[in-house]
Amino acid sequence: MIRKKAIIYLCSLAIATAAFSAGCTRLSEGSENSDVSFEANAENLEEGSVAKAENCVKNFINAINTQNFDGIADMIYLPENAFVSDKNVEWYLQRSGVSDITGVKIKNFDVEISDGALTKDATVYINKSGYQLSLAMDADNQWKIVMNDMFVENWSLKVPKGCTITVDGVDVDQYKIPATAIDVYDTYTFPAITKQSVQVDTKSSLFGSFTQTITPSADSETVPLICKINDAETTNILRQIQNVWNALYTDYTNGVDIESVKKYFTDDFDNSVITDIMFNYFQALEKPAESEDQVSYSNFYMKEAIPWTTNNYGCAILNTSDSVLVNFGYRLDFTSTNGGSYTLKKISQITMAYDSAESTYKIKQVNDPKLFYNNDYTLNDY
């Protein structure tokens, strides 16, 4: 039902006022007029609700027309704790159908509001143009403009554990869900965030800052932050991988005990994996699976470790605030018991953490154990 015109509302108000002056009977008194009094009260409440909705629309249109967008986000119907600013709303409105009323001289203005307890539709007439708006009542019983196309809901960022982030320069720690044993990344989930591109700055206490531009595009979307380590530090990490691998193999051939090689691993590293490397993996490396004779191989030496990227994912990317996931190719030179010399080229992945006390990188996780036992000598990966 279209909003009653002002003249009808004034007439209704006059009738209600006269009835009140004559003395309305309470419902508890059982008067025959009790239903009439209740209906008049309900009608007045509806008129008041319509007036508030109309005022919401007028303020919204005035903000667009005068380009005074301060506080306009408060006029929009949003989920609680939405990450949406006045600037975000302004950006969206400049690309919407109401943008053409910006700065125009308004000669004729009229608003028609439909009935509805929690939602209403508004038809706005400005000069010779008409605009359709939807309204909804929020938890504080205030009418707000509905613009669901402006934002996505329950949108998340996966952030390397221990890093801090800002979005468009704003601290977003209130949205943080800390990493767990199952999910090693910190998760930031936004009840609502604009579809406008946002700048995400990630800061690591060890590796500095990383800046990315991301455009939220879908509800319940989860976006991992890919923080790529610079080329100089990547080269340093690859050299450390090469040195650690060669040191472990040398200690293996010399029969060094497990305790002595723990220095190459982080304190929280799984000791059972160290045992596998020193007593099982290197042994498998020296005896190829396809060999049917007594030929074995030895004198392994990692000659090179080079960057290896897939789909621009990055060679060395931040895993936690102080560790790096490394994708790399490596070359092993070695000899056989029959006097031959060989070269093997493979690709692998490992996680290295920086030990500030010793100023060196250590193995935090062996993502690909075949790094230590890949004895397929018939096929090179590169």
Q: What is the CATH number of the domain that holds 311?
A: 3.10.450
| Residue 80 within a domain | yes
C-alpha–C-alpha distance, residues 366 and 349, integer Å: 7
3-state DSSP assignment of residue 62: helix
Rounded to 5°, the CA angle 48-53-59 comes to 125
Say whether both 292 and 172 belong to one domain: no
Number of domains in the chain: 3
Judged against a pLDDT cut of 60, whether residue 116 lies above it is answered with yes
| Residue 89 within a domain | yes
C-alpha–C-alpha distance, residues 38 and 150, integer Å: 41
pLDDT one-digit tens code per residue, 153-178:
999 999 999 999 999 999 999 999 99
pLDDT number for residue 46: 57
Say whether both 236 and 171 belong to one domain: no
Say whether both 136 and 198 belong to one domain: no
| Residue 342 within a domain | yes
pLDDT one-digit tens code per residue, 240-259:
999 999 999 999 999 999 99
The pTM assigned to this predicted structure is 0.80
- Residue 100: how many other CB atoms lie within 10 Å: 12
Judged against a pLDDT cut of 50, whether residue 10 lies above it is answered with no
| Final residue before a domain boundary, out of 97, 131, 146 | 146
| Residue 376 within a domain | no
Q: How large a percentage of the chain has pLDDT more than 90?
A: 78
Say whether both 75 and 112 belong to one domain: yes
Q: Work out the pLDDT band at 19, boundaries 50, 70, 90.
A: very low
Structural domain for 92, as ranges: 6-146
Please report, for the domain that includes residue 54, its CATH number: 3.10.450.50
pLDDT number for residue 197: 97
